[in-house]
Amino acid sequence: MKNIAILCSGGDVSGMNPALKHFVEYSIQKGLTPYFVYNGYEGLIDDDMKEASYSDVSGIINRGGTKIGSARSQRFREKKYRDIAKQNLDARGIDMLVAMGGDGSFKALDIFYKESGVRFCGIPATIDNDINGTDYSLGVDTALNIIKVSIDAIRDTASSFRRAFVIETMGRDCGYLALISHLTSGSELCLIPEVDYDLKKYEQEFKKQIKNGRRYFIAIVSEGIKQDSSEISEWFESVIGMESRVSILGHIQRGGNPSTYDRLMAYKLVNKAIDGLLDGNQMSVICYTKSGFEFKTIEEVTSKKKELDPELLSYLERF
């Protein structure tokens, strides 16, 4: 019987629990013994691993976060700890690893593979959707749905009060969440790190709109832009002449009941990852693009920053 383990690394996402459930079920179906590694790479170092069974994953498909915990491990950057991780895996006879995380997590695993020969498959999982080579990362759909519900709720109060709302989304230095949320929520302004902006450009138009009866503005700004959300809010008050509030959505975007799409993708990504490892893949990331599922090398996925879809970007400019 071959042993295979799964872990979560970096920011958790909704979709990890459905993936864990299917990992256990599909591994057993394929004649493998599934193991959970707790708290990301920390669990490899601390030997915090356990054989997983159906009962471990019952009732988790609808839960956000991850039952096995996640972490951003500093220790795994050091060879002495990676050596300990290898010894712990050897002791349990585990030589295949599935890792859900972002590009930083995959880079670490690539180094580990080169030193230890532990084969792995990465499953892109980050609400930021900032991994090069894949159009989709696990959890992004649930995050977008949470943002959508939040913006719709804020619109109710914004329109009742004649106010501008600056809504800040996560994404680190990637504006994907903000851009998609803008295009799908009808907001008036969207600022993302990928596109330089000058607020002056909007001044005349926004003032004209107020004169024509506009009662409120919704601005969606990504956390990585050059200004704080409070500065954009201040601009609405002092330049545009409308009372303004800031709403930082924060970690609410990372939790919640996983969407149907994220659950389905979790299912498919786990299937592909396990099949790939059984077919002899050594170290790859299972990506999803317009051409479907494809294994890509760590080099392809981590060597450059992901660029936003030019078609989506072209919809951004309105004035």
Active site members: 128
Instruction: Give the binding range for ligand F6P (CB under 6 A) out of 75-83, 169-177, 183-191, 273-281.
Output: 169-177
| Span from 110-118, 120-128, 233-241, 261-269 in contact with ligand F6P (CB under 6 A) | 120-128
Per CB under 6 A, 143 contacts ligand F6P: no
Helices (H) and strands (E) in the chain, counts: 11, 11
- Least CB distance from residue 137 to ligand F6P, whole Å? 10
Q: Which of 82, 163, 254, 263 binds ligand F6P (CB under 6 A)?
A: 254
Cα–Cα distance list, 221 to 18, 179, 224, 232, 309 (Å): 30, 9, 8, 9, 18
Tell me which residues in 7-66 interact with ligand F6P (CB under 6 A): 11
Amino acid (one-letter) located at 110: D
CA distance 193 to 93: 45
Does residue 128 touch ligand F6P according to CB under 6 A? yes
Q: 55: which 2 tokens?
A: 């009962």
103 part of the interface to ligand F6P, by CB under 6 A: no
Q: Is residue 124 a contact residue for ligand F6P (CB under 6 A)?
A: no
Q: Out of 44, 127, 158, 298, which residue is the one contacting ligand F6P (CB under 6 A)?
A: 127
Choices 150-158, 164-172, 230-238, 280-288 (CB under 6 A): range interacting with ligand F6P? 164-172
3-state secondary structure 195-245: CCCCCHHHHHHHHHHHHCCCCCEEEEEECCCCCCHHHHHHHHHHHHCCCEE
Q: Does 172 bind ligand F6P (CB under 6 A)?
A: yes
Contacts with ligand F6P by CB under 6 A lie at: 11, 126-128, 170-172, 223, 254
